[in-house]
Amino acid sequence: MKGIIIAGGAGTRLRPLTYIRPKPLIPVVNRAFLEYQVALLKKHGMDEIIFCTNYMADKIQNHFGDGSKFGVSMRYAIEDTPLGTAGAIKNAQTLTGRDTFVVLNGDVLTDFDLTEVIAFHKSNNALVTLALKDVPSPSPYGVIITDDTGRVSEFREPSEATKKMLAENSNVEQTGTDYINAGIYIMEPEALDAIPSGRPVSIERETYPQLLSQGKSVYAFHATGYWLDIGRAEQYRQATEAILNRDIIVDVPGAWTERGFWAEEGARIAETAHIAPTVHIGRNARVGEGASITGRSVIGADCKIGANATLTDCILEMGVVIGDGVNLSNVIMDNSCHVEEDVTVTLSCVFAANTLLTKGTRIL
């Protein structure tokens, strides 16, 4: 059985982090996000994986190559222009063959039991099976209505304006539970035959409603486990926290040190530095005397943290330099940012790559 990962989006909601890389390659706890999905597919028996790519497609292909480093075989279906989820899958049709395949949206962190979902799909002789996630109602996601057997009777997809309003308004009264499309599909090859080629096609608004209108066997399975869409900066933080808190059990690079935190090869941490157990220190990073790194913080490869610096709930990507006496809280910094000494940032911020904060800067 093959796996398909939809990884073509531009990641506009995660800018500026997606200016220098596609969203699926953003490091989450010092590991490219797509690697977690590849590991999930491999765990459940899929050793042939197809990436559907568009934005910065070359960077994804350069990172994964033929897949041998990850114990799988990888191929690429590149879109000249964005085709939407269904259009992207259709674009990969020549690579999927005539076998059942599993599709993952490339921005979902999950530990769902895919083997269980596949078994449900097979037992119902389904054309398509969607994995469902329960969320508080109302939600900014498309809601799936099923009968008692799990057969889908209706898709209720909110407008983009409604999605945005609900996603940004944390005070909306919760009225129950919705079951949403979790962005994981088990599909038979015949499901692709009716999708038009060469144009954008929405799987939620066009393909699935069409299959329902034709009386096709579309089922949905309520999966359990961890699930998070990392489309926005706050969700990127949540994914980091979930891994560091072990809310989702995934492999992270490095090893658990005798001092009680995660660190990768070559990391050097001063004896007088205080590192909380929910911190991950990347390859060849340096942490100076008296520094304090606490909360759910990630220090990227080749970062340098100065003496007596204090970092709380911060995510630093590769090559960030933090000066002596710096105080940062709830900060995300992309590659190669430079923070000079005695800077304080306590306002939740995301800084683009190569940002310079000069000595004495205050952002409160």
pLDDT (tens digit, 9 = 90+) per residue, 151-204?
998 877 666 676 676 666 666 656 557 788 888 999 999 998 879 988 989 888
The per-residue pLDDT of the chain, averaged, comes to 90
Q: Coil, strand or helix: which one is 333?
A: strand
What's the CATH number for 2-244? 3.90.550.10
Q: How confident is the model at residue 24 (pLDDT cuts 50, 70, 90)?
A: confident
The predicted pLDDT at position 110 comes to 94
CATH topology of domain 255-363: UDP N-Acetylglucosamine Acyltransferase; domain 1 (2.160.10)
Q: Coil, strand or helix: which one is 350?
A: strand
Opening angle at CA 307, ends 306 and 309, nearest 5: 75
| Mean of pLDDT values over 305-312 | 97
The predicted pLDDT at position 136 comes to 66
pLDDT at residue 328 is higher than 90: yes
Alpha carbon separation from 285 to 30, 195, 318, 336, 356 (Å, rounded): 12, 49, 9, 13, 19
Q: Please check whether the two domains, 2-244 and 255-363, share a CATH topology.
A: no
Q: Coil, strand or helix: which one is 4?
A: strand
The predicted pLDDT at position 324 comes to 96
- Tell me the pTM: 0.89
- Compute, in degrees rounded to 10, the torsion defined by CA atoms 190, 194, 200, 204: -70
The predicted pLDDT at position 140 comes to 63
| Mean of pLDDT values over 121-125 | 95
% pLDDT > 70, the chain: 93
Alpha carbon separation from 3 to 9, 251, 276 (Å, rounded): 18, 20, 37
pLDDT (tens digit, 9 = 90+) per residue, 348-358?
999 999 999 99
Question: Which alpha helices (H) appear in the chain, and where do they start and end?
Answer: 33-43, 57-64, 84-91, 93-96, 114-123, 160-168, 208-213, 233-244
Opening angle at CA 109, ends 173 and 294, nearest 5: 85
Domain limits of the chain? 2-244, 255-363
The predicted pLDDT at position 320 comes to 97
Of 13-17, 107-111, 351-355, the one with minimum mean pLDDT is 13-17
Run of H or E residues at 52: strand 48-53
Give the separation between CA 109 and CA 38, rounded to whole angstroms: 11
Tokens describing residue 273: 């530095």
